[in-house]
């Protein structure tokens, strides 16, 4: 028996950031269309960060249906905060945490994003132990 | 909507004005207008009402909203109109399809009714606010009483309105539709009244809890939302957004002025009624308050300005929904805007220009009144409002205004301000974002990137899951393979044990069944390795020993022989035994010769002559030889047969397994005693098998050139010890023993003086079928004789000059033990010839007796001393015994009369005692000589009487036996 969780996540990143040219009107706005190289969302770094958090938090965790909602929230908050510390200034971070019980069922999770593939990226990390699996997907969307 | 509206505001207003005038004339509105004019500044109010009416015509829903809002704020007074309106709407919706044609007319009707309603509502608002304030002031104490009052007031007002409407309805009554419409409105009024009462009861209580009250209002607002879609439609109908904007601003201005007009009306009414003084006060208050609030308003206004700017900038992109929001927002702030527009806002210059001076004045008055009222209320109810929440706190100035009944509407509107500002802010943000996004979307490409597979956890089958959990319970599954390479099933199975079993139903014998188990058992028992030669040798030795023991037992048991022997041999020997010659085939045979082996002294061979009596046909014509073991005298070891008469015989020198014999026919025969008895003839005699061995090799008929032509007199073995150098040349034998056993020559001497030397050759392999080359060899035999040399002695003897006597006969021959090259030959003339095999010159050539001259004396026997002394004894037929030294011609000693003239036939040195020898004479007497004791005569004489025995040949006592 296979259970599939389809997570379809679409996001249009739009944020009124700089409106310096408001009054001039005729002039074209100068938007920052690409992140600074150093601040570019790097999946590997983010993955490492997530992994560290997961390892710390879930090392001895066991699945219990009552605790999981809080755990997912806590994890997502923790990871989000950690990612913010990494200094992706113009990124909007979306962290999704899914925890499921390991009972031998098949699980398939997929994500699809409507975004600018040049600037936005995502990474995910999976933590598994005997009783649960935890999938963390972190999406970074660039603020233009 | 109307083409006239495209023109300037003045034009539109004029057009509206005209239309309204027309309607008024027809429907009796002028009267109402007149009334209003009478009460207050007629012109202004008329303009305001006109404007308002126009506004209503454009946007009836908004009117409804306004009315509702009023109703919310003070349900007691204002419920009639909203309800009516709602009813109208309901009706309209119901009949929408039917009345679609009459839409325009309906709208016109709306226009008619709306002003009235707005007027009445204006009054209602005042009352409502008034009540609100009172309620808040006096709190629960006055609530009930006041309610009654309010009810009364409301009724009064309603009656008035109804009357007016009735009049109007009567005056109209032109079209059926209009009539119906009026009836509806009347009905609506009644319904409104009823609902108003209900709601009053409901919210009279709720007023105590302002929060819930406010919540209710919010609900109402939500309800309003759907109607905005209608509005939206209408806007879309408009020719251009630009016009729309203008109208909005106009409407704003108009509505505000309208409101002010209403306020004025209300004020008037209040003044007419019971709050004249208050009204004045409120005027003052209003002024004060407006100055205060203007400050706040301006901030909002600025935001509004921004909005409008944005609108102009991104006008094309405005979505309908956004417009709605914007309208909504404007609605919320209409009063404020009204204030600003009318008094302070410089942007709306067109409006201010259009506003008549009288209106301005009135606005100012109203503001003053509001300010005054605010002051008063602030003083009175500051405590009460502190308790209320944030929203209420923001509404504090409004609450102040509530103290004055004439200012109530203003205050009610301000309740929404804070939230509205929030909404406005968020909306402005949204606008910004929208513009930003629209611009950015042109620059960037959003796409659905490929799907990320975040997690793919395949289903685990049951067994794996079990295993996964199994390992956690402190248990372990072990996989054992005893033979790691052999995983196949076939390999792992053990070998099948099989057993063969047979059975037979009609059993032939006692065994009816069996199996290979026994066979296995027999297989398992290892066949003992038999060392055949060793066993045979053992058996041979053992048999001999046993046979000897048995023989001794028999001798001891049967003492019949012993007395004779003891009697006869006591003198010279301890004991003697008689060989059993009474065997059937030996009976009646004369023993002609007897010979003992020098090495195996217990082996004796006896030669038997032809029998005197017939015994057996096969044996009668043959001569017999018997090989005896003296320890087994009961029977011969082996029995040999020979065709011719055997004259002499001898054993092989070292081991007595070969027997050589010489015959009267001059032939030399050899018996190999080792031969298997099966190749020989055997005869069953008296329950006993006797093997009669024929000679292995015989020189009869062969080697005729060198062979003897006369009877053999002597045969002697020549020891190999002296022939060391030659022995191995001739010997084909491999083993030392064999070589030693066969490293000798055989010398045969006939009486013609011919001495032949033979070499004994053992064939390596016996040929059972006989040999073609080796004639004279027994089939299966392995020993043959090869002629080596011939020595003729007659020359040396004859040249002596003894021609007188003819050719002498040679009778015996002996080889010197220390030097086999030398030999002595006894002759019948009393001389002993000394010769060598290599024709060497020897001296003396002849050994002569002491008596000179040649005499016919036979030298029968010669014997060398076995102790290495070169001396020999010679026994002669005349009874003399001579002791010769090899180097001396004449004898050392000669005993002539020891035997009394009887011929010496045998003479033997003792092998153990050097000076002792035995002599036998022809009368079978034995003389024992011990030279150390007596060198003149024999020390003992033992006559043996053969006649006492039944044996004709008699027995010769062996010297060896005597010695031992």
Considering only CB atoms, B455 lies closest to which of A16, A19, A108, namely A108
86-115 of A, contacting B, C-beta below 8 A: 98, 103-115
pLDDT per residue as tens digits for the range B244-270: 444 444 444 444 444 444 444 554 444
C-alpha span between B559 and B552 (Å, rounded): 11
- State mean pLDDT over B615-620: 71
Portion of chain B with pLDDT greater than 90, in percent: 1
Contact flag B440-A135 (C-beta cutoff 8 Å): no
Residues from chain A contacting residue B466 (CB–CB below 8 Å): none
Whether residue B425 lies within 8 A of chain A, CB to CB, comes out as no
Contact flag A113-B464 (C-beta cutoff 8 Å): no
- The predicted pLDDT at position B579 comes to 74
- The predicted pLDDT at position B243 comes to 45
pLDDT per residue as tens digits for the range B81-111: 444 444 454 455 454 444 444 444 544 455 5
Most confident segment among B18-27, B584-593, B641-650: B641-650
Position B242 pLDDT exceeds 90: no
Position B643 pLDDT exceeds 50: yes
Report residue A4's pLDDT band, with 50, 70 and 90 as the boundaries.
very low
Considering only CB atoms, B443 lies closest to which of A33, A105, A130, namely A33
116-135 of A, contacting B, C-beta below 8 A: 116-118, 122, 124, 126, 130, 133, 135
- State mean pLDDT over B428-436: 90
Position B489 pLDDT exceeds 70: no
Return the residue in B305, B314, B455 with the most chain A beta carbons within 10 A, the one to mutate for interface testing. Answer: B455
- How far apart are the CA of A109 and the nearest CA of chain B, in angstroms? 5
Instruction: Please give the residue that has the higher pLDDT: either B351 or B422.
Output: B422
Contact flag A108-B453 (C-beta cutoff 8 Å): yes
State both tokens at B389: 């929440």
Residue B418 burial (CB count, 10 A): 15
- State mean pLDDT over B298-327: 45
- The predicted pLDDT at position B155 comes to 53
C-alpha span between B252 and B682 (Å, rounded): 170
- State mean pLDDT over B907-919: 83
Instruction: Please give the residue that has the higher pLDDT: either B619 or B278.
Output: B619
Residues from chain B contacting residue A113 (CB–CB below 8 Å): 448-449, 452
- How far apart are the CA of A138 and the nearest CA of chain B, in angstroms? 11
C-alpha span between B337 and B253 (Å, rounded): 8
Residues from chain B contacting residue A2 (CB–CB below 8 Å): 459
Instruction: Please give the residue that has the higher pLDDT: either B791 or B394.
Output: B791
Whether residue B443 lies within 8 A of chain A, CB to CB, comes out as yes
- State mean pLDDT over B605-625: 79
Contact flag A31-B446 (C-beta cutoff 8 Å): no
Contact flag A115-B447 (C-beta cutoff 8 Å): yes
- How far apart are the CA of B439 and the nearest CA of chain A, in angstroms? 8
Position B340 pLDDT exceeds 60: no
Contact flag B436-A115 (C-beta cutoff 8 Å): no
Residues from chain B contacting residue A135 (CB–CB below 8 Å): 454-455
Contact flag B459-A1 (C-beta cutoff 8 Å): yes
Per the prediction, chain B carries an average pLDDT of 64
| Chain mean position to CA A99 | 15
| Chain mean position to CA B455 | 32
pLDDT per residue as tens digits for the range B434-458: 988 888 888 777 787 678 888 888 8
- How far apart are the CA of B349 and the nearest CA of chain A, in angstroms? 22
Residue B476 burial (CB count, 10 A): 7
- State mean pLDDT over A26-40: 75
Instruction: Please give the residue that has the higher pLDDT: either B684 or B756.
Output: B756
C-alpha span between B13 and B19 (Å, rounded): 10
C-alpha span between B649 and B646 (Å, rounded): 7
- The predicted pLDDT at position B490 comes to 67
Considering only CB atoms, A144 lies closest to which of B429, B440, B453, namely B440
Contact flag B436-A15 (C-beta cutoff 8 Å): yes
Most confident segment among A60-74, B143-157, B352-366: A60-74
- State mean pLDDT over B608-635: 79
Considering only CB atoms, B433 lies closest to which of A16, A33, A115, namely A16
Contact flag A133-B433 (C-beta cutoff 8 Å): no
- How far apart are the CA of B391 and the nearest CA of chain A, in angstroms? 29
Lowest-pLDDT range of A111-125, B317-331, B478-492 = B317-331
Task: Report the side by side order of strands in the sheet with A121-128.
Answer: A91-101, A132-142, A121-128
Position A16 pLDDT exceeds 50: no
Return the residue in A13, A103, A104, A134 with the most chain B beta carbons within 10 A, the one to mutate for interface testing. Answer: A104
Most confident segment among B26-30, B121-125, B540-544: B540-544
Residues from chain A contacting residue B429 (CB–CB below 8 Å): 16
Task: Report the side by side order of strands in the sheet with B881-885.
Answer: B859-864, B871-876, B881-885, B893-895
Residues B551, B633: contact at Cβ < 8 Å? yes
Considering only CB atoms, B449 lies closest to which of A15, A106, A115, namely A115
C-alpha span between B611 and B130 (Å, rounded): 194
Whether residue B906 lies within 8 A of chain A, CB to CB, comes out as no
- The predicted pLDDT at position B611 comes to 77
Residues from chain A contacting residue B448 (CB–CB below 8 Å): 10, 112-114
- State mean pLDDT over B504-523: 64
- State mean pLDDT over B137-156: 48
Position A19 pLDDT exceeds 50: no
Q: Is B955 left (phi over 0), alpha (psi -120 to 50) or beta?
A: beta
- How far apart are the CA of A5 and the nearest CA of chain B, in angstroms? 9
Contact flag B453-A112 (C-beta cutoff 8 Å): no
- The predicted pLDDT at position B157 comes to 55
- The predicted pLDDT at position B800 comes to 53
- The predicted pLDDT at position B128 comes to 53
Residue B797 burial (CB count, 10 A): 22
Backbone angles phi, psi at B916, to 5 degrees: -110, 135
Contact flag A108-B435 (C-beta cutoff 8 Å): no
Give the closest residue to B691 by CA, choosing from B759, B641, B649. Answer: B641
- How far apart are the CA of A119 and the nearest CA of chain B, in angstroms? 10
Report residue B878's pLDDT band, with 50, 70 and 90 as the boundaries.
confident
Considering only CB atoms, A16 lies closest to which of B436, B452, B461, namely B436
Return the residue in B425, B457, B459, B460 with the most chain A beta carbons within 10 A, the one to mutate for interface testing. Answer: B457
What number of residues does chain B have? 964
- State mean pLDDT over A83-99: 88
Q: Which residue in chain A is spatially nearest to B438 when comparing CA positions? A: A14
Q: Which residue in chain B is spatially nearest to A99 when comparing CA positions? A: B455
Considering only CB atoms, A29 lies closest to which of B429, B439, B453, namely B439
Please give, one letter per residue, the 3-state secondary structure of B431-473.
Answer: HHHHHHHHHHHHHCCCEECCCEEEEEECCCCHHHHHHHHHCCC
- The predicted pLDDT at position A77 comes to 92
- The predicted pLDDT at position B260 comes to 46
**What one-character DSSP code corresponds to residue B923?**
T
Considering only CB atoms, B440 lies closest to which of A31, A98, A105, namely A31
Contact flag A107-B455 (C-beta cutoff 8 Å): yes
Whether residue A144 lies within 8 A of chain B, CB to CB, comes out as yes
Contact flag B457-A133 (C-beta cutoff 8 Å): yes
Contact flag A135-B454 (C-beta cutoff 8 Å): yes
Per the prediction, chain A carries an average pLDDT of 79
pLDDT per residue as tens digits for the range B720-746: 654 444 444 444 444 444 444 566 788
Contact flag B443-A31 (C-beta cutoff 8 Å): yes
Report residue B772's pLDDT band, with 50, 70 and 90 as the boundaries.
confident
Contacts of B900 (CB under 8 A, 6+ apart): B879, B921
pLDDT per residue as tens digits for the range B677-723: 777 777 777 677 788 888 888 887 777 777 788 888 888 888 765 44
Contact flag A116-B444 (C-beta cutoff 8 Å): yes
Residues from chain B contacting residue A115 (CB–CB below 8 Å): 446-447, 449
Considering only CB atoms, A106 lies closest to which of B313, B443, B458, namely B458
Which residue in the block uniquely carries the two structure tokens 């038999």? B530
C-alpha span between B100 and B92 (Å, rounded): 9
């Amino acid at each position: 028996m296979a259970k599939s969780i389809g997570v379809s996540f679409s996001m249009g990143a739009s944020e009124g950031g700089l409106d310096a040219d408001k009054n001039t009107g005729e002039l074209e706005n100068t938007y920052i269309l690409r992140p600074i190289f150093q601040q570019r969302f790097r999946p590997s770094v983010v993955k490492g960060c997530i992994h560290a958090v997961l390892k710390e938090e879930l090392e001895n965790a066991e699945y219990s249906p009552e605790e999981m909602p809080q755990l997912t929230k806590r994890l997502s908050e923790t990871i989000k905060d950690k990612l913010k510390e990494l200094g992706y200034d113009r990124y909007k971070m979306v962290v999704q945490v899914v925890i499921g019980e390991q009972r031998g069922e098949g699980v398939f999770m997929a994500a699809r994003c409507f975004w600018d593939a040049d600037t936005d990226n995502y990474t995910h990390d999976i933590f598994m132990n005997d009783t649960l699996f935890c999938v963390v997907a972190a999406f970074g969307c660039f603020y233009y | 909507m109307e083409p006239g509206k495209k023109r300037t505001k003045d034009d539109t207003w004029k057009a509206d004005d005209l239309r309204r005038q027309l309607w008024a004339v027809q429907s009796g509105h002028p009267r109402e207008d007149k009334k209003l004019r009478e009460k207050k500044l007629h012109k202004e109010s008329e303009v305001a009402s006109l404007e308002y009416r126009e506004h209503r015509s454009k946007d009836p829903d908004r009117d409804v909203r306004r009315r509702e809002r009023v109703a919310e704020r003070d349900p007691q007074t204002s419920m009639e109109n909203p309800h009516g309106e709602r009813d109208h709407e309901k009706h309209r919706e119901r009949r929408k399809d039917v009345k679609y044609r009459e839409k325009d007319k309906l709208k016109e009707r709306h226009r008619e009714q709306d002003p009235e309603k707005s007027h009445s509502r204006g009054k209602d608002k005042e009352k409502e606010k008034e009540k609100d304030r009172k309620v808040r002031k006096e709190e629960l104490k006055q609530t009930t009483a006041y309610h009654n009052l309010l009810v009364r007031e409301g009724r009064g007002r309603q009656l008035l309105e109804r009357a007016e409407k009735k009049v109007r309805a009567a005056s109209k009554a032109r079209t059926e539709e209009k009539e119906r419409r009026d009836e509806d409105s009347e009905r609506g009024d009644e319904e409104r009244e009823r609902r108003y009462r209900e709601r009053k009861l409901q919210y009279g209580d709720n007023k105590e809890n302002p929060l819930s009250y406010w919540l209710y209002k919010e609900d109402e607002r939500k309800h309003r939302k759907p109607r905005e879609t209608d509005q939206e439609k209408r806007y879309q109908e408009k020719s251009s957004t630009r016009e729309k904007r203008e109208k909005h601003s106009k409407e704003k201005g108009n509505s505000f002025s309208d409101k002010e007009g209403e306020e004025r009306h209300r004020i008037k009414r209040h003044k007419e009624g019971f709050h004249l003084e208050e009204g004045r006060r409120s005027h003052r208050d209003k002024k004060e308050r407006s100055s205060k609030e203007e400050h706040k308003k301006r901030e909002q206004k600025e935001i509004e300005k921004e909005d409008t700017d944005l609108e102009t900038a991104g006008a094309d992109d405005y979505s309908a929904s956004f417009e709605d929001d914007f309208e909504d927002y404007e609605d919320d702030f209409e009063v404020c805007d009204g204030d600003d527009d009318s008094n302070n806002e410089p942007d709306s210059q067109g409006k201010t220009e259009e506003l008549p001076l009288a209106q301005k004045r009135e606005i100012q008055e109203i503001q003053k009144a509001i300010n005054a009222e605010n002051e008063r209320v602030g003083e009175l109810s500051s405590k009460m409002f502190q308790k209320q929440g944030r929203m209420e706190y923001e509404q504090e100035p409004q609450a102040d205004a509530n103290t004055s009944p004439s200012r109530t509407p203003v205050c009610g509107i301000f309740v929404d301000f804070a939230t509205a500002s929030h909404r406005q802010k968020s909306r402005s943000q949204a606008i910004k974002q929208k513009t930003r996004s629209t611009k950015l979307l042109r620059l960037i490409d959003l796409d659905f990137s490929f799907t990320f597979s975040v997690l793919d956890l395949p289903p685990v089958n049951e067994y794996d899951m079990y295993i996964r959990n199994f390992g956690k319970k402190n248990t372990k599954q072990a996989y054992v393979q005893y033979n790691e390479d052999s995983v196949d099933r076939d390999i792992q199975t053990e070998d099948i044990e099989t057993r063969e079993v047979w059975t037979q139903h009609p059993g032939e014998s006692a065994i009816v069944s069996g199996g290979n188990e026994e066979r296995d058992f027999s297989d398992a028992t290892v066949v003992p390795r038999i060392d055949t030669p060793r066993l045979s040798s053992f058996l041979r030795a053992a048999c001999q020993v046993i046979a000897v023991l048995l023989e001794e037992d028999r001798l001891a048991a049967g003492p019949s022989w012993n007395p004779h022997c003891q009697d006869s041999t006591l003198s010279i020997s301890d004991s003697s035994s008689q060989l059993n010659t009474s065997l059937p085939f030996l009976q009646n045979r004369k023993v002609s010769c007897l010979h003992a082996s020098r090495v195996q002294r217990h082996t004796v061979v006896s030669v038997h002559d032809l029998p005197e009596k017939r015994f057996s046909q096969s044996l009668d014509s043959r001569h017999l030889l018997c090989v005896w073991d003296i320890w087994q005298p009961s029977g011969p070891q082996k029995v040999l047969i020979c065709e011719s008469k055997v004259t002499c015989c001898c054993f092989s020198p070292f081991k007595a397994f070969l027997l050589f014999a010489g015959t009267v026919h001059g032939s030399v025969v050899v018996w190999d005693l080792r031969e298997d008895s099966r190749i020989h003839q055997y005869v069953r005699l008296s329950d006993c098998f006797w093997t009669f061995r024929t000679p292995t090799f015989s020189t009869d008929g062969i080697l005729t050139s060198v062979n003897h032509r006369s009877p053999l007199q002597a045969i002697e073995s020549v020891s190999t010890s002296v022939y060391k150098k030659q022995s191995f040349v001739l010997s084909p034998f491999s083993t030392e023993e064999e070589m030693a056993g066969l490293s000798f020559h055989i010398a045969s001497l006939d009486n013609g003086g011919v001495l032949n030397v033979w070499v004994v050759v053992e064939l390596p392999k016996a040929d059972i079928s006989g040999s073609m080359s080796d004639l004279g060899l027994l089939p299966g035999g392995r020993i043959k004789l090869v002629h080596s040399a011939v020595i003729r002695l007659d020359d040396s003897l004859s040249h002596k000059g003894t021609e007188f006597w003819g050719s002498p006969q040679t009778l015996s021959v002996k080889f010197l033990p220390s030097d086999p090259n030398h030999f002595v030959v006894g002759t019948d003339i009393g001389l002993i010839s000394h010769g060598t095999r290599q024709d060497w010159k020897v001296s003396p050539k002849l050994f002569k007796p002491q008596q000179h001259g040649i005499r016919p004396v036979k030298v029968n026997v010669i014997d060398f001393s076995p102790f290495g002394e070169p001396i020999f004894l010679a026994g002669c037929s005349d009874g003399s015994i001579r002791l010769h030294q090899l180097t001396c011609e004449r004898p050392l000693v000669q005993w002539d009369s020891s035997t009394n003239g009887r011929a010496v036939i045998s003479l033997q040195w003792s092998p153990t005692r050097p000076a002792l020898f035995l002599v036998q004479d022809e009368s079978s007497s034995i003389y024992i000589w011990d030279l150390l004791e007596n060198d003149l005569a024999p020390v003992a004489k033992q006559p043996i009487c053969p006649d006492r025995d039944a044996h004709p040949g008699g027995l010769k006592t062996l010297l060896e036996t005597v010695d031992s």
